[in-house]
């Protein structure tokens, strides 16, 4: 008879055990029931019997009795369904030398089998039972996977841009952030450039890469803003134009603007606003580019205009100050002004302004860098100014 008898085990367990014992060249025989095994054992006892405990103790008791009377040097192991101490103790007290639990692990099966057989003075197989050597492949895969994940994050993570970014032009004018895109004008080359924010985990390296360049065919842009349907510009000829986003930026609509020195151009989601430095005035335009409202700026000589958080932000004065115009049901409310210190080089006036990522962004016609400052840091009061001044401009 074979050395190891597998009696009454589920097919999956039998296959697994045969595979395990095959590795140590210990032959197995499979019998479908414990009763059949109990009949065969007295004639030719194996070195080891393995049975399954499925809740009924009768097969365990029966096998134990047969082994005691007919095969006293045959070792006896049981496979139990769960890792419960109560079950194992019950089966071991009934006669099994040891219990192994599912899923059947090679080390547990070989160790228990060898020891059980040795207890009966039998050598089940030659060779030591050792824990399996840990494969390096899972560790290597995990390291490689982690590296690729970090690389992916580096390539795809979009965070706020670096606080200062070079735009490689000393003729910057007009500025607008549109999500991850930055629009900026270059009056000298009559270009409107669209940049895209580069992804990266480290903020310092999140610069810009050129996405598109539009050359204005009929003027030099001073200011620009985006609406859903068009790019709107104010040129050096003091005309406001809306352009199709095509080669050459063909104009769709043109109109003269009030004032003599436009310094700001924004879209508030519904209307276009401009600021005029000489007149210290803000203008609101309808779809036909006709003025529908004028408001006096509390900041003298505004040099920039932005729209953010349902408010108009006006930059201007010397030293630079920032104020916020909020629309209420009863009129407009001014908030501020707030000091803007140490942002631009002294005596350099901003020529473009935008608010995005919680920061105020400025460009200047004589400085190639776009600079920024935190809005939270900036919105501190300037001492000596009235707060919450209500104003409504005359039409």
Quick check: helix, strand or coil at residue 121? Answer: coil
CB of 99 to other proteins, least distance (A): 7
Binding part of the chain for other proteins, among 102-110, 216-224, 337-345, 364-372 by CB under 8 A, reads 102-110
CB of 69 to other proteins, least distance (A): 20
Q: Taking a C-beta distance cutoff of 8 angstroms, is the pair 288, 272 a contact?
A: no
Neighbours of 360 (CB within 10 A): 26
Name the residue nearer to other proteins (CB basis): 16 or 171.
16
- CA dist 215 and 232 (Å) reads 14
Quick check: helix, strand or coil at residue 227? Answer: coil
238 binds other proteins (CB under 8 A): no
Binding other proteins (rule: CB under 8 A), the pick from 3, 114, 241, 335 is 114
Binding other proteins (rule: CB under 8 A), the pick from 103, 121, 131, 395 is 131
Binding other proteins (rule: CB under 8 A), the pick from 89, 143, 151, 213 is 89
- CA dist 196 and 376 (Å) reads 25
**Burial (Cβ within 10 Å: 0-12, 13-18, ≥19) of residue 161:** buried
Binding part of the chain for other proteins, among 11-19, 93-101, 175-183, 189-197 by CB under 8 A, reads 93-101
Element containing residue 111 per DSSP (H, E): helix 106-119
Binding part of the chain for other proteins, among 109-117, 242-250, 346-354, 362-370 by CB under 8 A, reads 109-117
17 binds other proteins (CB under 8 A): no
Name the residue nearer to other proteins (CB basis): 26 or 110.
110
Neighbours of 377 (CB within 10 A): 13
Binding other proteins (rule: CB under 8 A), the pick from 108, 218, 268, 293 is 108
Token pair of 312, please?
Answer: 């108009």
Question: Tokens 């070195």 label which residue?
Answer: 47
Binding other proteins (rule: CB under 8 A), the pick from 24, 29, 35, 97 is 97
Compute φ and ψ for 30, nearest 5 degrees: -110, 125
Angle at 312 between CA 307 and CA 316, to 5 degrees: 105
77 binds other proteins (CB under 8 A): no
Beta strands in 37-187 (DSSP E): 48-52, 75-80, 98-101, 165-166, 172-178, 181-186
Name the residue nearer to other proteins (CB basis): 98 or 186.
98
CB of 204 to other proteins, least distance (A): 45
Binding part of the chain for other proteins, among 106-114, 183-191, 232-240, 257-265 by CB under 8 A, reads 106-114
Q: List interacting residues with other proteins (CB under 8 A).
A: 83-85, 88-89, 92-93, 97-99, 107-108, 110-112, 114-115, 119, 128-131
């Amino acid at each position: 008879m074979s050395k190891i008898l597998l009696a009454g085990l589920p097919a999956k367990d039998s296959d697994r055990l045969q595979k395990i014992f095959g590795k140590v060249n210990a032959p197995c025989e499979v019998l479908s029931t414990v009763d059949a095994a109990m009949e065969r054992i007295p004639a030719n006892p194996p070195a080891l019997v393995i049975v399954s405990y499925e809740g009924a103790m009768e097969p365990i008791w029966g096998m134990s009795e047969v082994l005691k009377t007919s095969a006293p040097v045959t070792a006896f192991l049981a496979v139990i369904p769960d890792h419960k101490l109560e079950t194992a103790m019950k089966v071991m007290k009934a006669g099994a030398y040891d219990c192994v639990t599912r899923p059947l692990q090679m080390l547990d099966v070989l160790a228990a089998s060898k020891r059980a057989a040795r207890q009966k003075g039998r050598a089940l197989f030659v060779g030591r039972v050792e824990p399996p050597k840990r494969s390096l492949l899972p560790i290597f895969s995990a390291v490689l996977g982690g590296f690729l994940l970090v690389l992916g994050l580096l390539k795809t993570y979009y965070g706020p841009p670096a606080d200062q970014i070079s735009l490689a032009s000393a003729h910057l004018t007009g500025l607008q952030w549109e999500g991850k895109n930055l629009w900026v004008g270059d009056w000298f080359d009559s270009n409107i450039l669209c940049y895209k924010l580069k992804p990266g985990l480290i903020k310092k390296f999140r610069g810009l890469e050129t996405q598109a360049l539009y050359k204005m065919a009929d003027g030099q842009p001073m200011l620009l803003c985006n609406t859903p349907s068009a790019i709107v510009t104010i040129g050096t000829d003091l005309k406001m134009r809306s352009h199709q986003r095509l080669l050459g930026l063909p104009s769709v609509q043109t109109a003269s603007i009030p004032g003599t020195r436009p310094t700001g151009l924004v879209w508030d989601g519904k209307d276009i606003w401009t600021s005029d430095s000489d007149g210290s005035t803000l203008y609101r335009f309808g779809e036909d580019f006709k003025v529908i409202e004028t408001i006096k700026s509390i900041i003298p000589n505004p040099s920039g205009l932005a729209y953010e958080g349902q408010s108009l932000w006006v930059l201007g004065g010397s030293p630079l100050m920032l104020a916020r115009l909020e629309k209420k049901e009863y009129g407009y409310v001014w908030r501020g002004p707030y000091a803007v210190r140490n942002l631009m080089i002294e005596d350099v006036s901003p020529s473009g302004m935008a608010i995005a990522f919680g920061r105020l962004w400025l460009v200047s016609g004589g400085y190639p860098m776009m600079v920024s400052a935190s809005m939270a840091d900036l919105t501190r009061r300037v001492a000596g100014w009235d707060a919450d001044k209500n104003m409504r401009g005359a039409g």
